[in-house]
Amino acid sequence: MMQFIFTFLTYHIFIVSSQVSNILIFDSGVGGLSVYREIQQLLPEQNYFYLFDNEGYPYGELPQQKLLNRVENLVSSLVTKMAIDIVVIACNTASTIVLPSLRKILDIPVVGVVPAIKPACNLAQRCVGLIATPATIQRPYTHELIRDFSSDKEICLLGSTALVDMAERKLRGVPVNLSELANILQPIQGRIDVAVLGCTHFPLLKDEIQQVLGVHVMLVDSGKAIARRVASLISPGMCRHVSQTARIFASTSPYDGEALTRVLSDWGFNHIENFPIQGSSDHSQPGL
């Protein structure tokens, strides 16, 4: 009897511990890795597929319709090819426009990342700084969040692509120039007590941003909340019994690919695979 119970438990534990879901994390560049880090820490046993559209980068300056077409094309193709169970659009700029259409096209959960205005306003005494891409600070979606959740708090908006470029360079090993960073942050410097990192690239610069803004400014991002959301969506029904993997795909060959590949191996990715826009000749100019 004891032996039967032992065998049953061993078998059961093996089955449960070997169940994994295929999770796709998408961004225009390396920023989504800040979200991947949080999800992977909470759910280390899942399969991860990271796709970045560096051919369309920077999304903060891409015309809206072009962005929509690119995200729909790339995400839905990879979902089909890799039998993805959950999609995470780890990009505020994309999430503020693509979520409704992606959810129509795909029959799996699609999680988006939007600026953490609500928690920031709950924490702020004075003024909240929203640091995001030029597109995100203009989006109607962002202004609805501000209207619904800022209540009596003042919001200072700062849109910057230079900051996104800085995060891309830092991940490739280039040291951050603090005086350049201080220049970018100058419009909100001394005016805010909470800053929303409203672009997934910015948590990669968290230490430097904190250094420039000062320790009295609280930095808020959506990474941990997204990880909890993904955890809540994993159900045994979407799990399969295969060994755990982490693969990374780029829509075109990345700049300074050697440095990037070296760094990505520390994040658990072996090499960068090519995954271009499918079945279309409408390519944007390569970005970073």
Q: Looking at beta carbons only, is 20 or 264 nearer to ligand DGL? A: 264
Question: Is 133 assigned to a binding site?
Answer: no
Q: What is the DSSP letter of 68?
A: H
Residues of the shown chain interacting with ligand DGL in the complex, contacts defined by CB under 6 A: 27-29, 31, 57-60, 91-93, 133, 136, 161, 164, 199-201
According to the annotation, is 93 in a ligand binding site?
Answer: yes
Query: Please, which residue, 21 or 160, has the CB nearer to ligand DGL?
Result: 160
Residue whose C-alpha is closest to residue 59's, from 104, 36, 91, 84? 91
**Nearest 10 degrees: CA dihedral of 240, 276, 231, 122?**
-170
Distances (CA, A) of 208 to 31, 122, 214, 222, 253: 16, 24, 10, 18, 28
Catalytic machinery residues = 91, 199
Q: Would the annotation count 274 as a binding residue?
A: no
Which of 21/54 has CB closer to ligand DGL? 54
In the chain the first and final C-alpha atoms are separated, in Å, by 63
Whole-number Å distance between alpha carbons of 125 and 110: 34
Does residue 142 have a known ligand-binding role? no
Residue 271 annotated as part of some ligand binding site: no
Minimum CB distance to ligand DGL smaller for 21 or for 139: 139
The bridge status of strand 246-250 relative to strand 272-274 is parallel
Q: Shortest Cβ distance from residue 266 to ligand DGL (Å)?
A: 20
* Cα 101–chain centre separation: 19
E strand residue ranges, the chain: 22-27, 47-52, 86-89, 110-112, 127-132, 154-159, 194-197, 218-220, 246-250, 272-274
Task: Output the smallest distance, CB 56 to ligand DGL, in A.
Answer: 8
* Residue positions forming the annotated binding site: 27-28, 59-60, 92-93, 200-201
* Residue positions forming the annotated binding site for substrate: 27-28, 59-60, 92-93, 200-201
